[in-house]
Amino acid sequence: MNIFRHSSCSPLRRRLLLGGLAASAMPRLAAAQAVEPLRVVVSILPQKQFVERVAGNAAQVEVLVRPGQSPATYDPTPAQLVELGNAQVYFRIGVPFEANWVPRFQSQFPKLRIVDTRQGIELAPMRGADGQPAASGARDPHIWTSPRLVKRQAQTIRDALIELAPAQREAFEAGYTSYAAELDALDAELRQTLAGKTQRRFMVFHPAWGYLARDYGLEMIPIEVEGKEPSPKALTALIEQARSLGVRVIFVQRQFSRTAAESGARAIGGEVVELNPLEEDFIGQARRAAAAIARGMV
């Protein structure tokens, strides 16, 4: 029955009923008009935290390199290429696989905005076990292992998100401010953790911790440089260097072979300890890595 044609329905009652119907429809209308989260793609897991802390629920983040995979040898899956095609922005960070794939992304997805989070960061040279820059002139890509450099990347992420969704500027600025404060507190904590060590050197298989070492006055001694394991002669020299420095721990990553590290550890009567700079929880893993490095230094 049409209530508005019923003889007992006065004009006033009609207006009240219409008002009530409109009010009940408002939540559904608001939900329908809610802004969809930005579709974001990043290269490695730590970047997921960077974006989510800045954007909150305003971004849906997909990660290309999954746990256990290496950013040096990674190739995107067909499903991930579909994700890229549907994304508004891709945050690259400078890991090796990007050199081959980013030009393809640019060609295949011309509407995809590609933001390089290395902007504003001076990349340090890769260094060998002797502390000298690598002969190739290669630069260290591991800018996600330093709280100070992560803070700079978060700023770049904030600015790109604001350009993509200016209506959410306040939320992005608040997210950045909160995360930057956490990173400043982490920086102070790591300074304290790594302070007071007479021996400031630590040995690693893969040289992922150069920026952390630089920021806190340490010296990283790598076994592998630019993806190349040492020759038997070079490994013997590294073992002698470790003995002379009193090194008793060699740090490794699950993404790389640990054979040379285990051989070196046996030779110096030390141990192999795994660190994972590719964990999603950057703050947690940075805290754990600094504590392990501190324990490993005499």
Confidence of residue 10 (pLDDT cuts 50, 70, 90): low
**Which pLDDT score, from 0 to 100, does residue 133 have?**
87
Between 62-71, 144-153, 249-258, the lowest mean confidence (pLDDT) is in 249-258
**Which pLDDT score, from 0 to 100, does residue 4 have?**
44
Q: Is pLDDT at 208 greater than 60 in this prediction?
A: yes
Boundary (domain end) residue, out of 150, 165, 190: 190
CA distance 93 to 4: 63
Residue with the larger pLDDT of the pair 32 and 80: 80
CA distance 131 to 75: 32
Q: For 183-211, what is the mean pLDDT?
A: 93
Q: How many CA atoms lie within 13 A of 174 on its CB side?
A: 7
Residue with the larger pLDDT of the pair 281 and 231: 281
**Which pLDDT score, from 0 to 100, does residue 1 have?**
46
**Which pLDDT score, from 0 to 100, does residue 20 have?**
47
Examine the domain organization and report whether 209 and 273 are in the same domain. yes
Which residue range is the domain that position 202 belongs to? 194-296
Q: Do 179 and 51 touch, CB atoms closer than 8 A?
A: no
Residue with the larger pLDDT of the pair 21 and 85: 85
Percent of the chain with pLDDT over 70: 88
Examine the domain organization and report whether 160 and 51 are in the same domain. yes
Q: Is pLDDT at 115 greater than 70 in this prediction?
A: yes
Beta strands at 249-252 and 38-42: parallel, antiparallel or unpaired = unpaired
Q: How many CA atoms lie within 13 A of 32 on its CB side?
A: 5
Rounded to 5°, angle at Cα 206 from 64 and 198: 130
Q: For 104-133, what is the mean pLDDT?
A: 93
Examine the domain organization and report whether 58 and 175 are in the same domain. yes
Examine the domain organization and report whether 229 and 284 are in the same domain. yes
CA distance 232 to 228: 12
Examine the domain organization and report whether 184 and 200 are in the same domain. no
Domain for residue 107, yes or no? yes
The total domain count for the chain is: 2
CA distance 82 to 109: 10
Strand boundaries in 141-218, DSSP class E: 201-204
Residue with the larger pLDDT of the pair 211 and 24: 211
Burial class (CB in 10 A: 0-12, 13-18, 19+), 148: middle
Both tokens of 101, joined, read: 């794939």
Domain for residue 136, yes or no? no
Q: Is 127 left (phi over 0), alpha (psi -120 to 50) or beta?
A: beta
Q: Do 105 and 112 touch, CB atoms closer than 8 A?
A: yes
Residue with the larger pLDDT of the pair 238 and 255: 238
**Which pLDDT score, from 0 to 100, does residue 230 have?**
80
> Which is nearest to 252 in space by CA: 192, 296, 190, 193?
296
Q: Is pLDDT at 173 greater than 50 in this prediction?
A: yes
Residue with the larger pLDDT of the pair 65 and 260: 65
Alpha-carbon torsion, ordered 164, 102, 91, 150, to 10 deg = -150
Q: Is pLDDT at 272 greater than 60 in this prediction?
A: yes
Task: Convert the pLDDT of each residue in 222-244 to its tens digit.
Answer: 988 777 878 888 888 888 888 88
Strand order in the sheet with 219-222: 219-222, 201-204, 249-252, 271-274
**Which pLDDT score, from 0 to 100, does residue 233 have?**
86
Say which CATH number the domain at 62 has.
Answer: 3.40.50.1980
Examine the domain organization and report whether 59 and 170 are in the same domain. yes
**Which pLDDT score, from 0 to 100, does residue 34 have?**
55
Q: Is pLDDT at 217 greater than 90 in this prediction?
A: yes
Q: Is pLDDT at 113 greater than 70 in this prediction?
A: yes
The enclosing H or E element of 90 equals strand 89-92
Q: Is pLDDT at 11 greater than 60 in this prediction?
A: no
Q: Look up residue 123 and give its DSSP letter.
A: P
**Which pLDDT score, from 0 to 100, does residue 27 have?**
45
CA distance 169 to 163: 9
Examine the domain organization and report whether 57 and 99 are in the same domain. yes
The enclosing H or E element of 42 equals strand 38-42
Domain for residue 241, yes or no? yes
Burial class (CB in 10 A: 0-12, 13-18, 19+), 105: buried
Examine the domain organization and report whether 264 and 291 are in the same domain. yes
Q: Which residues contact 255 (CB under 8 A, 6 or more apart)?
A: 68, 69, 70, 71, 72, 206, 278
Examine the domain organization and report whether 148 and 247 are in the same domain. no
Both tokens of 90, joined, read: 């891709």
